[in-house]
Structure 1
Amino acid sequence: MLYVVGIGPGGLDMMTYQARAAIEEADVIVGYKTYTHLVKALVGDKPVLKTGMCKEIERCQAALEMAQSGKTVALISSGDSGIYGMAGLILEMVTKHSWHVEVKVIPGMTASIAAGSVLGAPLMHDFCHISLSDLLTPWEVIEKRIIVAAEADFVTCFYNPRSRGREGHLKQAFELMSPYKDPQTPVGIVKEAGRRKEAKWITTFGDMDFELVDMRTLVIVGNQSTYVEQGLMVTPRGYQL
Structure 2
Amino acid sequence: MALARFLVVLLLGAPLLLFSYAGAGEVGVSYGRVASNLPQDQAQVAKLLKDNGITKVRIYDADRDVLLSLANTNIKVMVMLPNDDLARGAASDLPRALDWVRNNVAAYLPATKITSIAVGNEVFHERSDLNLQLVQFMSNVQAALAQLNLADTVKVSTPIAFSAITDSFPPSKGRFVNEVADSVMRPMLQFLQQTGSFLAINLYPYIAELDNPTQIRNDYSLGNYAAGVPADECWRDPEV
The structure with more strand, counted as a fraction of residues: 1
Which TM-score bucket, shorter chain as reference? 0.3 to 0.5
What is the TM-score of this pair, normalised by structure 2? Answer: 0.33
Q: Could you state the TM-score of these two structures normalised by the residue count of structure 1?
A: 0.33
Higher helix share: 2
